[in-house]
Amino acid sequence: MPASVRHGTRRYHGDDRMKVLVVGSGGREHALAWQLDREGVDVIVAPGNGGTPGALNVLANDIDGLVELATQQCVDLTIVGPEAPLAAGLVDRFAEHGLRAFGPTQAAARLEWSKAWTKEFLERHRIPTAAAEVVDSESAARRAIARVGLPTVLKADGLAGGKGVFVVSAEAEQEEALDQLFRRRGLGDAADHVLIEECLVGPELSVLAFTDGERVAVMPPARDYKRLSEGDRGPNTGGMGGYTWPSYATDALLHDVERRILEPTLAGMRKEGHPYRGVLYAGLMLTDTGPKVLEFNCRFGDPECQLILPLLSSRLVDACDAVVEGRLRPDEVRWANHQTYGVVLAARGYPDSPIVGDPIEGLDTVSEGVVAFHAGTRLDRAGRLVSAGGRVLTLVGFDRRKVYRTAESVDFQGKQYRRDIGVETMSAVGVAP
C-alpha cells in the first residue's frame, strides 16, 4: 500500500502501521509511548522528555502547533496526556481540521477544569460526593469554615497541577491555605473561586475507565500517594507513587462504583449535551456510607498511568481507537492479574522549588522486571541525562522489593522518594514489606 493512503477513518503508512502522536512531557506520556511502541505503533511525542521516542519541540499547550504537527506528520490518532490542552479545546480544534484525537471535548473536560461546576453537576445528578460551599473571597471562606468546622478541605476551582487542595485540621494550616489561595495568589486564576468542602474519612482509591460516552471499560484500581513524605506527611504533590489492586478494592466495590458513579456521570453528561469520551478518572474516598467522589480527572492519571499500563494485555491503540469512533467493547479490553508498584524519584526542592540540571546515574542498573518511566528529564548539550522537573522518574514493577532496590541504585543529587509505597497492602496479605 502506498504511503499515507486513506483507508476508512484511518490513514496508514508504507509499513501499514498506525502513527500516533502522544501530547505531553511527563511520566504518563512516556508510559503511553512505551505501551504503544510495544504494540508496534509508530509513535512520536510532543514535546516529550529525555526518555521518549521521537520527541518533538512543540509544547503541549500550543494547539495550533500540534494541529500543524499532526497534519505534517500524517498522524492517524493523537492521544492527549495532560489536562491543560483538553481544557483549552484541543480535541475540538483537531476535529475542525479532520484530525482524530483521544480525549473529551472542552465542554466535557469541565469535569476537571472547574471543581465548582462539577460539584453542582454531582448534586444535580445525585452522585455521592462531599458537601461543599463555593466562595470567592477570604472573608467568605472564613465564614464557611466556621460553619463547617475543622477539619475541612479547601480546593481551588481551576487547574492547579495537583497542588490546589489543602486539607486543614488546625488553625495554622488554615491560615497557610488562606494565605496561599487569597493573599499570595500562589495559584493565580485557578483560585478565583474556592470550594470549602466537608472532610471525608476513609481510604482513597483511583478508578479509571475507558469510555465512549455510553460504555465503560474499568481499569485496575490504584492507590496514589499525594503527600511528599512517609506516613502521609509533608506538602501535597502531583503524586509520589502508588500501587494497583489495594486489598480493599474488591469486585463488589468496583461494581458499585461503576453503577453509582461512572454510569450516572456519563448519563448526566449526555443529558446536559456534553457527551464524554476518553478516560474518566474518579478520585474516590471510601466512606462508611459508600464511595464518594473527591474529584474527576479527564485523562490518565500520573502516576496511575504508569502503574496501570503494564497490566494491559490487549492493545491500548485499539481501545483508544474504539473510544474515538464510539464503538468501545469493554470485554475486549483485557488486563493481567498482577499488582504493580511505582515509586517516584523527585528532585531536591520539590514540590515548591525543584532544582534541575543534576546528572542522573544508575539507569543502566535497573533491575529486570522494573521499568524507569522518565518525567522531568532531558539530554544536555553533552548528551548526558539530567533532571528537568520536579518529578524526575517513576520506577514501576511487579515486585516491590526490586522497585525499591532500583530506587536506591538510580541516583541524582538530593533525590527524594517515599519508602512506604504499598506497605499497607503488603501487611494486609501477611508479607513483610
49: number of Cβ within 10 Å: 25
C-alpha cell at position 78: 493523537
Distance CA 206, CA 200 (A): 15
pLDDT cut 70: percent of the chain above it:
94
How do residues 129-155 score in pLDDT, each as one tens digit?
Answer: 999 999 999 999 999 999 989 999 999
By the 8 A CB rule, do 363 and 247 touch?
no
What would the mean pLDDT of 176-201 be, rounded to a whole number? 92
By the 8 A CB rule, do 204 and 243 touch?
no
What would the mean pLDDT of 115-120 be, rounded to a whole number? 96
Three-class SS of 246-263: CCCCCHHHHHHHHHHHHH
Distance CA 106, CA 367 (A): 41
Query: Which residue blocks in 208-363 are alpha helix, DSSP H?
Result: 251-257, 263-271, 304-308, 316-325
Predicted local confidence at residue 426, as pLDDT: 53
Residue 13 has pLDDT above 50, yes or no: no
Distances, alpha carbon 80 to alpha carbons 9, 200, 382, in Å: 19, 31, 31
Give the helix/strand (H/E) hosting 64. Answer: helix 63-72
Backbone angles phi, psi at 182, to 5 degrees: -110, -30
By the 8 A CB rule, do 241 and 230 touch?
no
How do residues 197-213 score in pLDDT, each as one tens digit?
Answer: 999 999 999 999 999 99
Predicted local confidence at residue 316, as pLDDT: 98
How big is the chain, counted in residues?
Answer: 433
Distance CA 54, CA 41 (A): 12
Give the helix/strand (H/E) hosting 111. Answer: helix 110-113
Distance CA 225, CA 162 (A): 12
What would the mean pLDDT of 99-104 be, rounded to a whole number? 98
C-alpha cell at position 100: 482524530
Residue 407 has pLDDT above 70, yes or no: yes
How do residues 314-357 score in pLDDT, each as one tens digit?
Answer: 999 999 999 999 999 999 999 999 999 999 999 999 998 999 99
Residue 429 has pLDDT above 50, yes or no: no
R_g of the chain computed on alpha carbons: 21
What would the mean pLDDT of 306-312 be, rounded to a whole number? 98
How do residues 227-260 score in pLDDT, each as one tens digit?
Answer: 999 999 998 899 999 999 999 999 999 999 999 9
- Specify the higher pLDDT residue, 293 or 16: 293
Distance CA 284, CA 290 (A): 10
Distance CA 86, CA 95 (A): 13
Q: Which parts of 103-203 are beta strand (E)?
A: 132-135, 152-156, 165-168, 194-198
pLDDT cut 90: percent of the chain above it:
87
Predicted local confidence at residue 6, as pLDDT: 30
